[in-house]
Amino acid sequence: MAVTVTVESTPHHPIPSTLWGLMFEDISSGDGGLYAELLKNRAFQKVTPGTSAALSNWAAINGASISVIADTPALSSALPNSLSLVIPSGKTGPVGFSNSGFSGIKVTAGTPYKASFFYRVPSARSLNSPITVSLQSTSGQVFGSATTTLSGSQTSWTKVELTITPSSSASNTNNVLAFTVDGASNSGLTYNFNMFSLFPPTFKGRANGMRPDLAQACRVANSFSQVYDHLCGNFFKALADLKPSFWRFPGGNNLEGDTTETRWIWNETIGPLETRPGRPGTWGYINTDGLGLYEYLLWCEDLDMEPILGVWAGYGLSHTSVPENQLGPYIQEAIDLINFVIGDPAKNSFAARRAALGHPAPFRLQYVEIGNEDFVGSAPSTYPYRWRNFYNTLTATFPHLKYIATSHQNNPVLSPNPKFWDNHVYQTPNWFYQNAHQYDSYPRDGTQFFEGEYAAISVVPSDIWNNRLPYPNIASAVGEAAYMTGLERNSDIVFAAAYAPLIGHTTDNQWTPNLLAHDADTVYFSTSYYVQKMFSVNAGDSYLPSTLPTKGGTLHWSVVRKNSGNQIIIKIANNAVNVESLTFDLPFNTVSSTGTAEVLTGAAAAANNPSNPNAVRPVTSTISTGKSFTYNAPALSFTVIILTAY
């Protein structure tokens, strides 16, 4: 028997403009993912000179001797290590070294790749030696190259910039960027190199910008949209198509670091790349911090996203807290950070640094998150004084901003009482649809909630952390969809929500599942990605009350109105293993006789992955509608119905 859903015509509340967005945290905080840099271990940050590990991703060519050294003079105080190349006697032909990138490098014909590096010559010997920089396969096939000259007696550092435009595309990503000089004419010479870089075209052509992911085959473009697709690629398009309303950064654990010293230090992530020291990440990798504060903020502007900015609040993941009487410098660090984002360049030196980088106008900012997950480890025992000191000082300095607390609500009790809370939940698909009514009973007392991280990560409730899904599947995505109908229903108090994490490499990651998976060649759109997109692009303007779904049941729905076009948008998550029928009674005088239904459905374990990237995709069809109509929701499905009514 069909469930009857009676819809009311009077909106209950407007849909927040920030409801559906993105939480950013991926492997190496952007390195090898969203950040467009193609070379890994490009500046030998935080490695031990003289070790084989320091040469990770670098290889000698034709018998060259390469090593990482602690250099004097160093390129900068931030980058003390260099790659030393010694040309052995008796060598002929090209001699040098190569970098294999992040599990490979995609090479596309006709694409201009911008390469750069710094070098110096420790000996006083005068030289005028060509160096060739080439994109080539691991077997030596050259796709494109550029040559410049290392000239003079170089006892100081010189920067070289050049462009490589391949004449042919590589059939796979088993490619390297090679640097070679003539062995015979350089016999016995030593060269030191540092701060290598290789960038494809970036979104909007931004220097040090975001990865365009040229996943599409090179083609002749006969329209603006084809040019756009070719340059921006699937990675940017994947995120832009979500129409995210906010961007939570610089991530969760990425913000905290393991210790005070390895926290995200914002002013070490801006300015020239050679001044950024990088830092040990929280999952065993090195963060280059090439993707830094300024790049994050420009990205927010480029996608018209509201930044939700995290500030470090005195706690590291090794369960260390800064004593209350020593918080002052870190609170000032947060003040300086916010001034960089929104301050007046004429009145503040940190705002002036922003202006000097090319953005004199303040960036948009209204939400600041104090800490991250201060409900884990020993964080709850110290968060009360950390919250109090950060909140009071920041509020006095920036009274117009909204500050988000990151502990469990009232556990511990915080003073002043937060008006905004960040909740995180990683659970099973069943947990999500059984808790879709979570916020229904919350008091409407002015308190607002941010579902800053959530995902169905496992189907093993007894041990979700050690039995995580490799990729989101239909069961996990539909469970999340059921939960999201509850977030939408309660969006009078839930102002924002973000699936997490956002991005993960298919073979080089510390966490699964992720919303998007990628490798050097391709972006993989998960089932959860499609659910997020279906909610976000169909957010609507106001929530329309309707008959409530059964608590703990497998069938959930939400109804919103979009003023433009007089659209009524109905979202339905059916977590049952059978078809469920719903009859919708609409209170409007005029209702279209047909509408569209976009449906994501499949077997519970069906997932998009490198072996089958398009196993599951939404399908749109025309359905019959009217003032009263019945819809049969497929088993394990998420549906968005759009019709017109007034």
The two three-digit tokens of residue 457, written as one number: 């990560």
pLDDT of residue 204: 82
Each residue's pLDDT tens digit, 163-202: 999 999 999 999 999 999 999 999 999 999 999 999 999 9
At 203 the pLDDT is 83
Lowest mean pLDDT among 247-256, 332-341, 478-487: 247-256
Query: Each residue of 593-634: pLDDT tens digit?
Result: 999 999 999 999 999 999 999 999 999 999 999 999 999 999
CB 190 within 8 A of CB 121: yes
Check residue 235 and give its pLDDT: 64
Give, in degrees to the nearest 5, the angle at Cα 152 between 276 and 114: 45
pLDDT above 60 (res 342) = yes
- Asked whether residue 214 carries a pLDDT value surpassing 90, the answer given is no
Q: What is the structure's pLDDT at 510?
A: 86
pTM for this prediction: 0.94
Mean of the pLDDT values across residues 547-551? 97
pLDDT at residue 233 above 60?
A: no
- Flag whether pLDDT at 208 surpasses 80: yes
What pLDDT score was predicted for residue 452? 98
Model confidence band, residue 213 (pLDDT cutoffs 50, 70, 90): low
Query: Comparing 212-221, 371-380, 501-510, 582-591, which segment has the lowest mean pLDDT?
Result: 212-221
Mind listing the pLDDT tens digit for each residue in 31-75?
988 899 999 999 999 999 999 999 999 999 999 999 999 999 999
**Is the predicted pLDDT of residue 136 greater than 70, yes or no?**
yes
Is the CB of residue 626 less than 8 Å from the CB of residue 593?
yes
| Strand 448-456 to 494-499 pairing | parallel
Residue 503 and residue 514 in contact, taking contact as beta carbons nearer than 8 Å: yes
pLDDT for the residue numbered 222: 34
Residue range 249-280, pLDDT digits in tens: 998 999 999 999 999 999 999 999 999 999 99
- Alpha helix stretches (DSSP H) within 404-549: 429-434, 474-489, 527-536
643: closest CA among 567, 530, 554? Answer: 567
Q: Decide: helix, strand or coil at residue 568.
A: strand
What average pLDDT does the structure give for the chain?
Answer: 94
Residues 6+ apart with CB under 8 A from 283: 27, 253, 510, 511
| Beta-sheet pairing, 246-249 with 306-311 | parallel
Distance CA 620, CA 628 (A): 21
Strand (E) or helix (H) holding 302: helix 293-302
* Percent of the chain clearing pLDDT 90 (strictly above): 88
Q: Residue 580 above 70 pLDDT? A: yes
What distance in Å separates the CA atoms of residue 361 and residue 356, rounded to the nearest whole number?
11
User: Does the pLDDT at position 27 exceed 70?
Assistant: no
Q: Which domains does the chain possess?
A: 3-14+543-645 (2.60.40.1180), 21-36+209-539 (3.20.20.80), 52-201 (2.60.120.260)
**Helix axes of 328-342 and 379-397: crossing angle, nearest 10 degrees:** 50
Which amino acid does the sequence have at 452? G
The stretches of 192-264 forming alpha helices (DSSP H) are: 224-241, 253-256
**What confidence category does residue 364 fall into, taking pLDDT thresholds of 50, 70 and 90?**
very high
For residue 388, pLDDT over 90 is answered with yes
Residue with tokens 């365009």: 212
Residue 344 has pLDDT above 50, yes or no: yes
User: What is residue 283's predicted lDDT score, i.e. its pLDDT?
Assistant: 83
Per-residue exposure over 427-466, b if at least 16 CB sit within 10 Å of its own CB, e if not = bbbbbbbbbbbbbeeeeeeeebbbbbbbbbbbbeeeebee
* Residue 522: pLDDT over 90: no
Q: Amino acid identity, residue 484?
A: M
Question: Which residue(s) pair with 622 in the sheet?
Answer: 596
Q: Are 134 and 178 in contact (CB under 8 A)?
A: yes
For residues 16-40, give the mean pLDDT. 89
Please provide the distance, in angstroms rounded to a whole number, between the alpha carbons at the two ends of the chain.
29
Instruction: Say yes or no to pLDDT of 225 above 50.
Output: no
Which phi and psi (to 5°) does residue 535 adopt? -75, -50
Q: How many residues does the chain have?
A: 646
Q: Is the pLDDT of residue 230 over 70?
A: no
Q: Is the pLDDT of residue 153 over 80?
A: no
- Which amino acid is residue 200, in one-letter code? P
pLDDT surpassing 80 at residue 224? no
pLDDT of residue 622: 98
Q: Are 556 and 486 in contact (CB under 8 A)?
A: yes
- Residue 180 belongs to what H/E stretch? strand 175-182
Give the 3-state secondary structure of residue 132.
Answer: strand
Please say if the pLDDT value at position 226 is more than 50: no
Is omega for the bond preceding 412 within 30 degrees of 0, making it cis?
yes
For residue 215, name the pLDDT band (cuts at 50, 70, 90). Answer: very low
Q: Are 329 and 393 a contacting pair, CB within 8 Å?
A: no
Amino acid type, 409? Q
